[in-house]
């Protein structure tokens, strides 16, 4: 529902102030950035870590994929807890757990290979609640005309955190050694937790920092007051094809996303001999493009809808563009003979898939705003499978063929499958 003229008039009578809903959105976007700093630093650190411990490509693939062993199982529980009990505490608990696991990673690696895998899985368990909790919070704090931008900013935390990790990790490793990466990034969560406890709440109704004028805007800009869920309509959720369109799109999107996220530095080093000193710079370029495109997609989606285009058309059109642009460059990647050309194609592919931030990524809040945490838990559970399967399979392909080409072609096929399914089943209307 668009803001009413009355709510706008009330807002203009109040002295200019920064809306608390913007602070909450920035805070949960920053949590996502921290999430990806702690998740992604292993992509750089695994190179000296594997050298020090003598890991082969299959073992390296297991280390990179072990995160998802913990990440898979708590998605649904995180969404249910956030929708049922409130997202503020659920997100805070997740940040505390994953920050601790990050900090303890070097110690685990010194114990044994199994301990390292277990610590990466514990990191995944903590991060599992991030996206479901954020969607639950966003459903209560954001208004319809700002929703795509808010979720796109949140998703751009993925790219921003990756940029920070890719850019700074090589510098930290070269100066202080690879364990320092985990000590520093793990400690960052403590500062975030302190600020989150002060500034956030489960919803604007429980937050003392929300003015009467802003509360009027939020109430008018939501379809209704989205209260905590006493029960979950599982049958309706599981039978709704628009829900499965989101699930399939999320799964297909993340197949290529995780391969690029966790294997790009190793691909550049193995294929083109890129040095550690240059690895961060090469690896960071695609994520800068993704950060820009993720935020642009939110503005585009909101603006397009404000001009009268139905949300169904907006979501389907943008997701079709995301998968098409994401797939095409990967077909050309095996023919590249320089790291600059390869990075250019990866950048185009990642920027293309980032358009999905204005499509499937926000679609949960269109289809079932009261149960957005559960829906994100469901779709992100499915989207975790590529992190386990795709990342590990890439290691097996590399071990047996000495090339990443097979992983690129497989990703193209999966992107195109996701596009067909989303176009056939997706909707921008409220269903549940």
What's the domain range around 334?
A: 5-425
Question: For residue 365, is it within any domain?
Answer: yes
Q: What is the mean pLDDT of residues 184-199?
A: 92
Question: For residue 431, is it within any domain?
Answer: no
Question: For residue 430, is it within any domain?
Answer: no
Question: For residue 432, is it within any domain?
Answer: no
The C-alpha atoms of residue 134 and residue 156 are separated, in whole angstroms, by 13
Q: For tokens 């406890």, name the residue.
A: 197
pLDDT at 11: 45
Nearest to 389 by CA among 62, 121, 119: 62
The C-alpha atoms of residue 244 and residue 314 are separated, in whole angstroms, by 18
Q: What is the mean pLDDT of residues 399-405?
A: 86
Question: For residue 144, is it within any domain?
Answer: yes
Question: For residue 25, is it within any domain?
Answer: yes
With contact defined as beta carbons under 8 Å apart, do 204 and 21 qualify? yes
CB atoms within 10 A of CB 170: 26
pLDDT class of 2 with cuts at 50, 70, 90: very low
The C-alpha atoms of residue 234 and residue 377 are separated, in whole angstroms, by 13
The C-alpha atoms of residue 429 and residue 10 are separated, in whole angstroms, by 29
The per-residue DSSP string of 97-154 comes to: HHHHHHHHHHHHHHH-HHHHHHHHHHHHHHHTTHHHHHHHHHHHH--GGGHHHHHHHH
Question: For residue 158, is it within any domain?
Answer: yes
Nearest to 201 by CA among 98, 91, 99: 91
With contact defined as beta carbons under 8 Å apart, do 364 and 375 qualify? yes
- 205-209, 223-227, 245-249, 394-398 — which is least confidently predicted? 223-227
Q: What is the largest CA-CA distance in the chain?
A: 68
- 141-145, 291-295, 416-420 — which is least confidently predicted? 141-145
Q: What is the CATH number of the domain that holds 103?
A: 1.20.1250.20
CA-derived radius of gyration, the chain: 21
- The total number of structural domains that make up the chain: 1
Question: For residue 174, is it within any domain?
Answer: yes
Two tokens, residue 403: 């090339």
Q: Phi, psi at residue 14, to the nearest 5°? A: -85, 150
Per residue in 89-131, pLDDT tens? Answer: 999 999 999 999 999 999 999 999 999 999 999 999 999 999 9
């Amino acid at each position: 529902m668009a803001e009413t003229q009355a709510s706008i008039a009330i807002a203009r009578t109040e002295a200019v102030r920064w809306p608390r809903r913007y602070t909450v959105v920035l805070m949960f976007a920053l949590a996502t950035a921290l999430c990806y700093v702690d998740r992604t630093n292993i992509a750089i650190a695994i190179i000296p870590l594997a050298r020090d411990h003598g890991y082969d490509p299959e073992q390296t693939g297991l280390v990179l994929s072990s995160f998802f062993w913990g990440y898979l199982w708590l998605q649904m529980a995180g969404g249910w807890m956030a929708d049922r009990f409130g997202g503020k505490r659920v997100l805070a608990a997740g940040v505390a757990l994953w920050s601790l696991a990050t900090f303890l990673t070097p110690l685990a690696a010194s114990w044994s290979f199994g301990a390292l895998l277990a610590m990466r899985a514990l990191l995944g368990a903590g991060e599992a609640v991030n996206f479901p909790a954020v969607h639950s919070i966003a459903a209560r704090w954001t208004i319809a005309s700002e929703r795509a931008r808010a979720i796109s900013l949140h998703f751009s935390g993925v790219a921003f955190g990756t940029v920070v990790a890719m850019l700074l990790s090589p510098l930290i490793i070269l100066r202080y050694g690879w364990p320092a990466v985990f000590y520093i990034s793990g400690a960052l969560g403590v500062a975030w937790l302190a600020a989150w406890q002060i500034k956030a709440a489960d919803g604007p109704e429980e937050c003392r920092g929300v003015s009467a004028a802003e509360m009027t805007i939020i109430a008018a800009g939501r379809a209704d007051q989205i209260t905590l869920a006493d029960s979950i309509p599982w049958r309706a959720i599981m039978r709704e094809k628009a829900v499965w369109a989101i699930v399939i799109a999320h799964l297909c999107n993340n197949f290529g996303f995780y391969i690029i996220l966790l294997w790009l530095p190793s691909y550049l080093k193995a294929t083109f001999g890129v040095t550690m000193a240059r690895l961060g710079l090469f690896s960071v370029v695609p994520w800068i493009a993704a950060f820009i495109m993720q935020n642009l997609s939110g503005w585009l989606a909101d603006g397009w809808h404000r001009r009268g285009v139905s949300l169904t058309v907006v979501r389907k059109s943008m997701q079709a563009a995301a998968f098409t642009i994401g797939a095409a460059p990967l077909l050309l990647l095996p023919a590249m003979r320089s790291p600059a050309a390869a990075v250019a194609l990866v950048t185009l592919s990642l920027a293309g898939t980032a358009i999905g931030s204005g499509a499937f990524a926000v679609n949960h809040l269109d289809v079932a705003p009261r149960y957005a945490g559960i829906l994100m838990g469901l779709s992100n559970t499915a989207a975790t499978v590529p992190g386990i399967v795709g990342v590990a399979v890439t290691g097996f392909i590399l071990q047996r063929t000495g090339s990443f080409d097979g992983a690129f072609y497989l990703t193209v096929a999966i992107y195109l499958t996701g596009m067909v399914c989303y176009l056939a089943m997706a909707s921008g209307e409220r269903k549940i």
